[in-house]
Structure 1
Amino acid sequence: MAIARYVIELLGYDLNKIKKSLLSVAGSVAVSIIGRCFMSLFTIKRKYLLLIAGIVWSLAGIMVMRTGFPMIPQLENVPLILFGGLIVLLVFYLLIFSKLVYKHEYRIRMYDRERLPFWLFFDIKSYLFVVVMMGGGTLLRKSELIPHWFIAFFYSGLGIALFACGVRFIIRFFRYGDGFKIIYRLDKWLEHEDHEDIDTIEPKYNEREKKK
């Protein structure tokens, strides 16, 4: 140690600055190692992001259904309420949620890493969508600005649509190894239409149906 100090002083270097630099480097390395160990606790294989998404969507659907279903028997014109719920189910499932399931599976498959943080089952836009939808729905119910008949048919249909897409996520999880199933009516909603980087399953459509 004394020899090393003598050599350093002979070369004209400041021993205190060298100590500070070494401590800084050691601290950075320690933080990096701890950070990687910490993050490894929250990373999972990317296919499991589909399973988490499915569970979250299914639970959300059950919660929404529990708001709408109990009101239906208390109202008049139950057939009309059920018809309205069916319309809401079809609109949200076919025009909104099925597109989101398709886009999220594509996004998850496009990650270049096999293990990812578990919260990446959604992207930022989806988290904002959930917050706005849940916050807005809670605010409307608490303020009693909408009638019970609307809550009955709208929340029932919306809950079933959410639950159905949750099930769809889970099915895609179990079929993850088969590849990404291309659905042409939904493919235009992807931000990238190139599927060369992932395994795909081409549907058994002819060229005329593909162009449609």
Structure 2
Amino acid sequence: MHFPRTAEEQQARFIAEFADVELPVLMSSNLGLAGAWTIPGDTGTDLLHLYGPLSGLADLTASARWIAQLPPDHPYLRLYEWISGTDIRYARTVRSLLDPVDHGWWERRVQVPLAAPYFVATCRYGLTGERTVRRGLSTALRAIDANGQVSVAMAYDTLFGDFGSTRVIGTAPTAEIFDAVLNEHTAPSAADRDPWAIAAAVPAPYSPLR
């Protein structure tokens, strides 16, 4: 068995193993993959997986029960045993997605791929920003998506103790346009959050959102 040595080799093997083994199990368990992107950074490349759409905890519980019934020799149960060190850190996290348009937006995005480059915007806010940042984001996303220059593919928001974090994923001709449109429509919350951090994102070969 070949154990990858470089970070690039590890990522390539992880992507292949996910596509060949884990993804079919997730799809069969009705825990679908909503989107997957690689995000280059100063300390390496992050691989972002988002799952769903889910209607609630019942869907997640049913998926877990289905996976728990896999036979003991199924390769899914031995996934990623070769991973060591810190080049790959893998954890499954399910977060609630923010619907920027309506309940059919995800299906339309899958059926009609977005052609422009993808970008990911992330911001962090404290408890004082919960009202202006979190509650106003759905309205802002609808306005951003209607802008014509930026298409919102997906967004999610989560809370960690005394601060929150919001991430918006979408396409635009350039990072500068993505940043400008996002800041224009989220300006009312600027004083209550950190500035948006923008990064390029490349869809993985198996991502439904391309």
Q: TM-score, normalised by structure 1?
A: 0.26
Q: TM-score, normalised by structure 2?
A: 0.26
- Greater RCO (CA < 8 Å, at least 6 residues apart): 1
More helix by share: 1
Question: For the pair shown, which has the larger CA radius of gyration, 1 or 2?
Answer: 1
